[in-house]
Each structure stands twice: as C-alpha cells, then as structure tokens.
Structure 1
C-alpha cells in the first residue's frame, strides 16, 4: 500500500516517494485552459490548499514526469515553461510582528531573484515585488505565474488584536496591489486563504480575481469526495473493517456548492484516522482550538442552537473583514459551518448552513461549553451529566444544571438582559448536551411543531422543552410535549422515551424546577 502523506504538501515528494495522491489535476486543466487565469480560493485550514498550489507550480515549470498517469499529462502544453513566483505565507509559524513579515517576504523575493538570475534594487517590499514581476517578464515574454498560498495568514495570526490585524491588512495591500498593477505581465494568478478579507486591495475590484470558493465546478478541488475515498483508500479502510456510514457521519459533509453529491472529507481527518488505527477522534479540530471564536460567541451572546440551521444570503458569506466579522461568515470560512442547501430567497441566492459532521458539532460545542466557566468546571459538568443521563437520575441532573448556573459570574450578565430570555438557558444547556457525545437535535421538527431539544442515546430518547417560570413551570413544559405529540416521531426507535421539562427563573438566573415523565405509547 502507498504511504499516507500526513502533513506533506510537496507534490514532488508525494509522487516520487510513493505517497497516496488523489488526482485533482482535472481542475487545473479547467482553471488554466478554460478560464480567465485570475483566481481566488478560500478553504478551511488543513484542506489541501498548499498541495494544490504546489501542483500548479510544477505544471507551469514543465515537470511533466511528475504527472505521468494523471489527467493533466495529456491536457497541458509541456513545451512552454513559465517562471513561477510562489509566495507561501503559510511557511512561517506566526506573524506576530510586522518585522517578521517583512523579513519573510524579502527573503522569498530574494530567493526567486536568485533562482531566475535577476537583480533586485528596490528596498520597499511591495515595490520590490513589482520589480521582480517586471524583470521576469522581460526575460520571459510568454508571461509569468504568481501563486500566493495562505495570503491572509498575517491577518489571521493577529485576529485577536484588532489594531495589529488592521495594520497587517494594510501591509498586505501594499504587497498585493502590485499583482494588479502588473497584470499585463502575468499569465496566471491564484491566491488561496482561509478568509476573504474584503478590504484587501485584491478584492476591491470584483473583476480582478475570479472567486471560485462557491463555484460548483470546483466544489471538490480540495478534499476527498466519496468516490475518491473509496477508490483510493479502500484497501486501507478494509484493513480496519471500517463502516463507511459511520465514517461519513464523523468526517464527511463539507460542502462548498450546495449539492449533496459534492460533499467532501477533510483530508487531514482521513489520513489521521487511518494512521491512528481507525479510532474516531476530532483530529482536524484538535489542530487549532477556536479560542477567538469562543470569545466572540461569549461577547455577543449568540444563541448557540441556531448554529444547527443558519440562513444567510450570498453577500453575507462573502463579507468579512477585521472590523466587520459576522459570526455566520466566520464560522463558514473557518470550516465550523458548511452549506447544507442553496436556494433562492426572493431574487437573491441564499444558503442554509449547519455543522458539516459529528466531529465539528461535538468538538465545537465542547469548546463553547467553556462559556461563563472554565475547562475544569466544564469537564466536571459534562462527566456528571453523562452519569446522570445514563442512570436516569433526573434529580441529580437538575442539581448539576442548578450548580452550573449558580457558578456563572455576575459580570457575565452585565450590560445586557440575556438572562430574561428562554434562549439564554437553552443555549447553555445545549452546548453541554452537544458535548456529551450523543446525537442532539435542536429545534427538532415534527408534524405538530418544533421540539426545543432531542437527545438520542443508545438506549433511550430524551425530549426536552424549556420554559421561563413566568410563562409556565416544568410540568407545563411536559404537558406541551404531550399535547403536541412530539414523542410520536421517535416511537419507531423502539427505545424508552422520556419527556423532560425545564423551567428557569430569570430573577434567580437559575433552573427553578425540572419534571420528567416516561412516555407511554
């Protein structure tokens, strides 16, 4: 069996050293031979953007031997060689100072000048970049290729420091503007990143770059679709007797076009899953805990269950900047939400977003459960909740929830009235239940209405309804479940069904009572 290319983004190394490579070169054919040649692609981290850029580089450099047996072998002009300026901003571990950025960029430009035998005289980083483009074009009139990988990393590295992030944005403008200014010298341009910062100069002119992020033709340009997974990794997965349905549930589901047929797996998850003896873990999520995202949710008091179904128009998905970061856009661009459906809302394209898979839903909510508490307290609450649910100890469950709300600092309620809304309590409880590791459905649709929360465990189903005490107690919440016949949806599961009402006191900012009935068909 071929080796697994974990952490390897060198196309040459993968091909020459017998690593697994899934052929994506049909997309390069489409981009270069059938398109305008000016592109931007956004994908979450660890999705294979760097490998894509490196593969394009080797094609333009004419390294035909590397493409033997691949689609591009027979769909490329191998006689024409192009000089390639490849700026890989992902090569640095961090850009927490302007000086570090300038040092890296000057070094990359000097290396390219040395490689192609030109002398750079300019000292300003942006002017120097423009000089390199023009000098290479003078030597190579067929045109040059500009590839920028992780173009936005200097901004993202400083996203928690608004001032420094904005400075980095302006510095990047001073670099990328020279791509636009020297367009006549360039045969092909492609930039990749996690986010599309709208105020970076590249995006101020909509005709400058073709943003293919949501283009159906390129939905699987990065990531593994189901057919590719089965064809390429079947031998590995059969060795571990892997259940494909469970694998899909854990790691599949990323969608950048809105079509069910175009969902992809994050390559990092699949490679680590195989490498780590087929154990289901949150491999991708663990590479970067979204502390900034957790702080943003906490600061703005978002209703966390809404993340299961978010409707946005196309403009919002593409609108993002340091001083304007809609939570929906941030979650989508960073990979915590993905497209579930594309439809017209009036005359405007709209998208329904949700978690891509179980790994992301479970892991993100595990992190969000730290809101208004800390990791130690969170883990304790989760452990106690699991024990209470497994033993049907509902009295203990009420005590756990009561204890948690009592521990939320008073400062968390300052300058807002969120504690007066039912959604606040549902949001806190939701994050903990989602972090338990069982199936959790928010706003669960039935023929008779929507259940606040449904928790599906291996041996039982819990149907949960919330009330503010001033609108009704826990018994009335259960009565509502019964009157609307919510439990009928789960009768076919052939499991015990428990109806749980929770009532909250907005003056005490805590649970006031909890009532449970076992459902009888």
Structure 2
C-alpha cells in the first residue's frame, strides 16, 4: 500500500493525525528541552525547521495523544501545557520597513487579544515585553517562545543596505526583549538559515545556545542513513523496481544524490529530507531541493567578491566564520555553507578549520549548471542543450567542434572584466569541465597560472594545455616537452593533444591546435 509522504507539510499535528510518515525525532527534542532553555538552530531551507517548531509547539501544548508510539510518549511523564508565543516570519514578502512592522504588530495584536494590552506600551518591543509578562501571569506558568525563520526579513533585504539596517534595528529591539524577560520564559527556540551577528539576539542575549554546529543535535533536522534504511526499506525496494535498479544500487543512488550533509566536526551523514520525500512520492530521482530555490544572489556575491570557483571543491573556513554572514560581500563562503550549497567535509584540529565542499550530486550539478549562463555566453540561452552538445562532441572525438563551442562561451566577455580576465577564463573553464565531468572523466588542475586538463571518454583521451597571451603552438609544445601524455601511452583509446591560447585583447580563445 502506498504511503502518505508529507511533502511540503510542516505541521506536526496534521502529519500525525492524518497518518503521514514521520521520522521520530522526539528523543532528541526531549533532550533539547531538558538540557537547556534558549536555543538557536541554523539549517538550510526546506530542511525541517518548521516541522521541528511545530513538534515543540504540540509538546508544550501537552498533546500527548499526538506522540503515541513515539519516544516522547515514554520519556515525558508530566505533559504540562504552557502558554506559547509562536512567531512565523516565513509567510511575508519583506520589501519596506512597514512590512516587517505590520507583520510583528499583527502577531502582537493576536496575543494582546488573548492576554491583554497596555496603552502605554507604544513600541513593538515594549508590547512584546508586556505580552510575555501578562501571559506568564495569566497562566501561572512561564512562556514558551518559538520563532521560525527569524532572519527572513533580513535575508530578503540583502543588497539594500538601508532596508537591512532598518530591519536589524527593529529586530534587535524586538528579540532583545527575551533577555529582560528571562524570569517569565520557560523555553525559547529561534530557527533560521543564517546568523546575523549584529542582531542583539546574538550579541546581547548571551545565554542563547547556538546548536547549529553541535554534535548532540546534528540530526535534529534531516534524515540519517539509519533512519532512511529503517523507515523507508519498502519504499527503497519499490523505488528500485520503478527505476530498474537493485536494492543496493538504489541505496547507492540515493546516497550519491541526496546524502552528504554534515553539521558538525564528526557528525553522521544527513540526507536532504525534502528531496528524499519527493523521490519516494514520485518514485523517480530528481533535483527537488535545488529546483525550489534560485541562488541568484549567491552567484552575484561570488562575482562581486572575485571568487575563484575552484575553491568550491576545496574550501576552508573557521567555525567562527561559518557562524555569521556579516562579511559576505568579501567572503561568500559562510552564506554558501548556511544556505546548504556547501557542507562540512572534514576538520583540521591543529588549525581549527573546516574543509568544505558540495554535499551531493543534486547540489553540485544543479549549482554548476546554474552558474554556466551567469559566467559564460550561451548562444541558445539553454545550459542543458549547450552541455549536451558539448558532451556529444567530446564523445564523438570531434575536437574542433567542442573547441568552437568552448570558444563561443567566451564570445561576450564583458569589458569590465579586463583586469580579471584570467580569473574569468579559469572560472568558465571550471564550470564547463565540471559539468563535463558528470558525463565523462574530467580532471582539471591549476597551478602557478597554468591550466592542465585531461578528459577521458570510452574511446578518446584529451590532454589539454591553456595559455594566456601566448600561442597555441607554445601550449602544444609544453604538452610535448613535459610529456603530459606519457601516462596514457599504453592506453588503447585514441589520444588528442590540444593546445589553446586565450587573448586578453580579443577577450576569448584566439586559437588552438589539435595533434592526434
């Protein structure tokens, strides 16, 4: 019998009462509640933050019946109901100062209808303070505060410094109330994608525990491999049948496509929950998470900061830098990590830095395809078509055809890139050959201003050398002089040596020579 998959459903009560499948996170939630009072959790979009908030809300409402059969049922003995202030900032388009004020005021009005208002509480912050105090006094119990997507207004204001400053000031005062109301608060959790360190929640509310990179709670959102195999065994088998794969092949494909997130130094692998649920619901593999968001702003940050795209596969960052994004215009790495496009791949204890990289194929291929038309000129405007044509030329051994296509990618290099042309060339080549690598074997190395490339198909091997303001002959001569082709001497596949020259004056590929 086909199961109900809660795709897009973030309400715990609806999931439990309508028999949707649910991965039991309640043991971790119980641990969270019992081991602290104030928390902040950062996770990428569509990773289960809203469901976590909703689960906590049901728990603090004392709805024991919703937890039947879950770990919480046996762990919790008291089931006490508390007054809850739940603020969801995800459901609004924030484009003016008034928009945020209206959103906060609307929630305050609903709470004031229930707990009373005071005409002398004139600001959003003082009204929030009054609501917290009166709710605790009315119930005779401290208040639970749950704030979902606390940073949504500021994320939408990125690029508009005036509006961003206005939102920062508004939320600084609003969130700062929690510190002065500590004696009235039982529990508080704020979730979001990023950590704006200049907001007082993180600068003044110093008892707020950031569990975003905390090994105890790395699997609070998302699905672990053990959870996947335990809860979706039949689904995996059915998915395999639908896609003509064995069970082991299906598991391997799921891992390659959707696994790979790490939110701490030695955390277990976390699968993307949104992509997994969509895959099982539709019984086919797809780029479900990536296609629900367009990282246009992130690409603009990469270009603005003159970022070398090669670093995406070998990036490093300190724990402190990963926690905030206030330097994003010069260092886009933290927001790439927090947004889910990069994840933790390793840790150097001596220097206390994390190694970062793409989490999985869905993100790596989707992001790289997204980069192509934003760095290269595409005559058709269709990245998929251009890459397909490029791959076919390579597979057919038509070196001149794929080099002409590569030349066209540089046909419209903008004049303002004159001082960064070498970086621009390297970035475009990285994108093109990264995408090519999803369909062939492509090795791409840069060192001391030199670019070496090896591409292998089932019939051909291409050894390529690129020069800037040299000649194609010099590039080919370097391949021969340094014997770049020697490792393939005994290979039965046909080998091409390709020398290519870029010209700053022509802002593109000036010429090439192919020797086979």
Instruction: Give the conservation status (yes or no) of the 8 Å contact 1:120–1:132.
Output: no
**Equivalent of 2:505, from 503, 507, 512?**
507
Deviations 1:374-415 (A, max 9, x none): 6643536434312311222111122112222122232343xx
Aligned residues: 500
Matched, 1:398 2:403: yes
Evaluate the alpha carbon distance shift between residue 127 and residue 464 of structure 1 in structure 2; reply closer, same or farther with a 3 A threshold: farther
Identify the residue that residue 365 of structure 1 maps to in structure 2.
368
Identify the residue that residue 272 of structure 1 maps to in structure 2.
278
Instruction: Give the secondary-structure state (helix, strand or coil) at the position aligned to 1:103.
Output: helix
Deviations 1:3-22 (A, max 9, x none): 00010000000000010100
Evaluate the alpha carbon distance shift between residue 345 and residue 443 of structure 1 in structure 2; reply closer, same or farther with a 3 A threshold: farther
Question: Shift in Å at residue 497 of structure 1?
Answer: 6.5
Question: Shift in Å at residue 310 of structure 1?
Answer: 0.2
Identify the residue that residue 199 of structure 1 maps to in structure 2.
198
Identify the residue that residue 257 of structure 1 maps to in structure 2.
264
Matched, 1:296 2:295: no
Matched, 1:328 2:333: yes
Evaluate the alpha carbon distance shift between residue 78 and residue 499 of structure 1 in structure 2; reply closer, same or farther with a 3 A threshold: farther
Q: Where does 1:9-408 land on structure 2 (aligned, <5 Å)?
A: 9-33=10-34, 35-92=35-92, 94-114=93-113, 116-119=114-117, 121=119, 122-205=121-204, 207-241=206-240, 243-259=250-266, 262-278=268-284, 280-321=285-326, 326-346=331-351, 349-373=352-376, 376-377=380-381, 379=383, 381-408=386-413
CA distance in 2: counterparts of 1:73 and 1:463, whole angstroms: 63
Deviations 1:388-446 (A, max 9, x none): 11222111122112222122232343xxx212x3x43221122123335436766569x
Question: Shift in Å at residue 151 of structure 1?
Answer: 0.1
More moved, 468-477 vs 169-178:
468-477
CA distance in 2: counterparts of 1:499 and 1:250, whole angstroms: 34
More moved, 463-472 vs 95-104:
463-472
More moved, 222-231 vs 382-391:
382-391
Instruction: Give the secondary-structure state (helix, strand or coil) at the position aligned to 1:4.
Output: coil
Evaluate the alpha carbon distance shift between residue 235 and residue 508 of structure 1 in structure 2; reply closer, same or farther with a 3 A threshold: same
Deviations 1:267-320 (A, max 9, x none): 111111222231x32211111111111222222332112111101112211231
Instruction: Give the secondary-structure state (helix, strand or coil) at the position aligned to 1:139.
Output: helix
CA distance in 2: counterparts of 1:455 and 1:392, whole angstroms: 11
Instruction: Give the secondary-structure state (helix, strand or coil) at the position aligned to 2:232.
Output: helix
Instruction: Give the conservation status (yes or no) of the 8 Å contact 1:440–1:453.
Output: no
More moved, 64-73 vs 192-201:
64-73
Instruction: Give the conservation status (yes or no) of the 8 Å contact 1:451–1:486.
Output: no
Instruction: Give the secondary-structure state (helix, strand or coil) at the position aligned to 2:198.
Output: coil
CA distance in 2: counterparts of 1:229 and 1:352, whole angstroms: 26
More moved, 376-385 vs 50-59:
376-385
Evaluate the alpha carbon distance shift between residue 47 and residue 459 of structure 1 in structure 2; reply closer, same or farther with a 3 A threshold: farther
Instruction: Give the conservation status (yes or no) of the 8 Å contact 1:442–1:451.
Output: no
More moved, 372-381 vs 424-433:
372-381
More moved, 469-478 vs 355-364:
469-478
Instruction: Give the secondary-structure state (helix, strand or coil) at the position aligned to 1:91.
Output: coil
More moved, 293-302 vs 459-468:
459-468
Question: Shift in Å at residue 56 of structure 1?
Answer: 0.8
Question: Shift in Å at residue 80 of structure 1?
Answer: 2.2
Question: Shift in Å at residue 51 of structure 1?
Answer: 0.2
Identify the residue that residue 428 of structure 2 maps to in structure 1.
428
More moved, 266-275 vs 59-68:
266-275
More moved, 379-388 vs 509-518:
509-518
CA distance in 2: counterparts of 1:429 and 1:250, whole angstroms: 24
Instruction: Give the secondary-structure state (helix, strand or coil) at the position aligned to 2:397.
Output: coil
Gaps of 5+ in 2: none
Q: CA RMSD in A?
A: 2.9
Evaluate the alpha carbon distance shift between residue 485 and residue 14 of structure 1 in structure 2; reply closer, same or farther with a 3 A threshold: farther
Instruction: Give the conservation status (yes or no) of the 8 Å contact 1:84–1:147.
Output: yes
Instruction: Give the conservation status (yes or no) of the 8 Å contact 2:304–2:329.
Output: no
Question: Shift in Å at residue 206 of structure 1?
Answer: 7.0
Instruction: Give the conservation status (yes or no) of the 8 Å contact 1:426–1:466.
Output: no
CA distance in 2: counterparts of 1:435 and 1:378, whole angstroms: 14
CA distance in 1: counterparts of 2:494 and 2:5, whole angstroms: 44
Matched, 1:418 2:410: no
Instruction: Give the conservation status (yes or no) of the 8 Å contact 1:14–1:20.
Output: yes
CA distance in 1: counterparts of 2:317 and 2:262, whole angstroms: 15
Gaps of 5+ in 1: none
Instruction: Give the secondary-structure state (helix, strand or coil) at the position aligned to 2:344.
Output: strand
CA distance in 2: counterparts of 1:255 and 1:456, whole angstroms: 32
Evaluate the alpha carbon distance shift between residue 485 and residue 60 of structure 1 in structure 2; reply closer, same or farther with a 3 A threshold: farther
